[in-house]
Amino acid sequence: MDTRARTPRSTGLAIVAELFPYLKPYGLRIALALLCLLAAKGAGLSVPLVLRELINSLNVELSLLAVPVLLLLAYGAARLSERVFAELRQIVFARVMAGTSRTVMLLVFRHLHALSLKFHLDRRTGGLARDVERGGSAISDLLDWALYTILPTLVEVTLVTLVLLTLYDASFALIVLATLVGYVLFTISITEWRTRFYREAVEADTHASASAVDSLLNYETVKYFSNEEHEAQRYDKTLQRMEATQIKSYKSLALLNIGQNLIVSLGVTVLMWRAASGVVSGELTVGDLVLVNAYLLQMAGPLHLLGTMYRQVKQALTNLSRLFGLLDEPLDVQDRDNAIALQPARASVRFAAVHFGYDPRREILHGIDFDIAPGHTVAVVGHSGSGKSTLARLLYRFYDVQAGSVELNGQDIRDYQQASLRRAIAIVPQDTVLFNDSILYNIQYGRPSASREEVEQAARAAHIHDFIVSLPDGYDTQVGERGLKLSGGEKQRVAIARALLKNPSLLIFDEATSALDSKSEKAIQAELDRLSQGRTTLVIAHRLSTVMNADQILVMDQGRIIERGRHAELLAKGDHYAHMWQLQQEQKDQASQQRV
């Protein structure tokens, strides 16, 4: 996949051209569908011709049995052939529509996962999902309308005009062409004018969807503060905006339909007047009048539909433009052209004069320097906002440093392929979010190829196996949206099991025991200490009791390392770390006294 930003498409033709590469695998099917289309239109065109011969061959003095049997059979065959070829076209083209839509949506999905964390933090998930959903539907719709409505109508109008020119004088064809040209020009001008209303409606719909999803994802918070009515009013504001744009769209649609009907009605009236005059003067037969009327009726429906489809195509192009706009989002973090794969091995980590800020105008880390030797554990402590968790994000290369370097095994991590880098690292984050699936799925997510036995072994190591098997559905228990059916401690233990199952070269614990009670914390901390032995580990912690055994402790404050050393050494200094330790011990003693 081309990960570089491309020039945004601003025209309908540019958007359609973007689809062409995805249609190439279906070239044969498209050709067969077009042949079926031409066959269907040819059969449909022959129906009025056969009907004219039937009318002209009738003798009102004879019974109906005198009607030529061959003409009747030909009439029936033409009618049947038109429908059969139309349905064959649909059968052949179905895979083209579904396959192309799937290919593009999967491409967008992959690209969204390839985008940096910055992009996703700036977006609202509900609105993003709505854009992808509408864009995927627009692909099928656009191809469907192009082959089933727009192209057939143009073919039909062309063939009817040629037949009228062949059988009658040029006035019939001129009337048809004048009607068509007037219809098309009016439709295009009005549709272009009202397309902006649809764009506004799409924007409003996206905001409404994002607002609803955001509110529902935070259901518990809404309940905590009894803000149901506040959420309803906030949602209603987005609905009001959508309502206003939809009203404009509906009114302008009514104007479009009135104009289209007026033009078609005028054309039909003039053409029928010309045919009727020919019958009265003896130039034409009753069969000719029936033929002209049949062609008019045959074209009137598609013409009306053509106007509707043009409007729908413009709307589909708007949705498709938003979908392709996601593909145009540049990747802030990319693999270098000569990036190499990180080979599994005992990892060494080095932060060398690292400067970084989520916003270039506000630096978070100021010249961070430290090393983690292979198999050693380094802990980072400090107050909230000191930049501790940012270190983990940089190691995962969710962001690139602005200055300095982050190195793994002596190599700048920007020289490694991102996929191989992240395979070598496992993290237990502070805020554990689980998939709305089973406990088994969420633990196995650490290594999808792992066996059930390996999953259970990881769960035992995280001290959650006994809890899982005590549940009615065991490992098949559904955890709910974002894992809300589990407690904070249970979710964190699932996350620990998931990380252990990955069996990484580098382990990161970002407040890994923050949601656990004292008893569970001691049990899991002992297990984490055992698992960290011989494995390179970065521990980000607030509770100093969890990092006492670290090979080195870094104390951070406002993006700088202000102290470093082992637990006993830092206590002996009597500086920041010692004060933090004393404060936490006092808090622990107060909590114990309150329990007593």
Whether residue 16 lies inside any domain: the answer is yes
Angle at 313 between CA 310 and CA 319, to 5 degrees: 150
332 vs 459: which has the higher pLDDT: 459
Angle at 107 between CA 101 and CA 109, to 5 degrees: 100
Whether residue 381 lies inside any domain: the answer is no
Angle at 445 between CA 100 and CA 323, to 5 degrees: 25
**Mapping DSSP to helix (H, G, I), strand (E, B) and coil, where does residue 563 land?**
strand
How many domains does the chain contain in total?
1
Q: What is the pLDDT of residue 51?
A: 64
310 vs 138: which has the higher pLDDT: 138
Report the CATH number at residue 66: 1.20.1560.10
Q: What is the pLDDT of residue 297?
A: 67
Which H helix or E strand runs over 382? strand 377-382
Which H helix or E strand runs over 514? none
Check if the beta carbon of residue 117 is closer than 8 Å to that of residue 398.
yes
Nearest to 448 by CA among 501, 507, 505: 501
Nearest to 367 by CA among 384, 382, 349, 352: 352
Give me the amino acid identity at 271: L
Asked whether the predicted pLDDT for residue 62 surpasses 80, the reply is no
Whether residue 155 lies inside any domain: the answer is yes
Q: What is the pLDDT of residue 307?
A: 64
pLDDT one-digit tens code per residue, 112-122: 877 767 776 66
Q: What are phi and psi of 320, to 5 degrees?
A: -70, -35
Asked whether the predicted pLDDT for residue 226 surpasses 50, the reply is yes
Nearest to 263 by CA among 184, 152, 190, 193: 184
**What range does the domain containing 300 cover?**
12-327
Whether residue 384 lies inside any domain: the answer is no
Question: Taking the C-alpha atoms of 217, 219, 224 and 229 in order, what is their torsion angle to the nearest 10 degrees?
Answer: 120
Determine the Cα–Cα distance for residues 223 and 544; give it in Å rounded to an integer: 34
Two tokens at 64? 């109906």
pLDDT one-digit tens code per residue, 409-437: 989 999 999 888 888 888 888 778 888 88
Determine the Cα–Cα distance for residues 407 and 351; give it in Å rounded to an integer: 6
Whether residue 74 lies inside any domain: the answer is yes
Q: What is the pLDDT of residue 67?
A: 47
Nearest to 560 by CA among 576, 581, 539: 576
Whether residue 475 lies inside any domain: the answer is no
Q: What is the DSSP string of 70-131?
A: HHHHHHHHHHHHHHHHHHHHHHHHHHHHHHHHHHHHHHHHHHHHHS-HHHHHHS-HHHHHHH
Determine the Cα–Cα distance for residues 46 and 164; give it in Å rounded to an integer: 13
Asked whether the predicted pLDDT for residue 60 surpasses 60, the reply is no
How many other β-carbons are positioned within 10 Å of the β-carbon of residue 281? Answer: 8
Two tokens at 213? 């999803």
What pTM does this model have? 0.63
Nearest to 80 by CA among 44, 49, 50: 44
Instruction: List Cβ<8 Å contacts ≥24 apart for 114-122.
Output: 114/1, 114/3, 114/331, 115/329, 115/331, 115/332, 116/331, 116/332, 116/333, 116/398, 116/399, 117/393, 117/398, 117/399, 118/332, 118/358, 118/399, 119/329, 119/332
- Local confidence band at 552 (pLDDT 50, 70, 90 cut-offs): very high
Whether residue 588 lies inside any domain: the answer is no
- Local confidence band at 6 (pLDDT 50, 70, 90 cut-offs): very low
Two tokens at 451? 């066996």
pLDDT one-digit tens code per residue, 351-389: 999 999 888 888 989 999 999 999 899 999 988 888 888
% helix, strand, coil for the chain, step of 5: 65, 10, 20
Q: CB-side exposure of 110: number of CA atoms within 13 Å?
A: 9
Q: What is the pLDDT of residue 2?
A: 42
468 vs 337: which has the higher pLDDT: 468
How many other β-carbons are positioned within 10 Å of the β-carbon of residue 299? Answer: 23
**Mapping DSSP to helix (H, G, I), strand (E, B) and coil, where does residue 45 land?**
helix
Order of strands across the sheet that contains 377-382: 425-428, 506-510, 536-541, 377-382, 552-557, 560-565
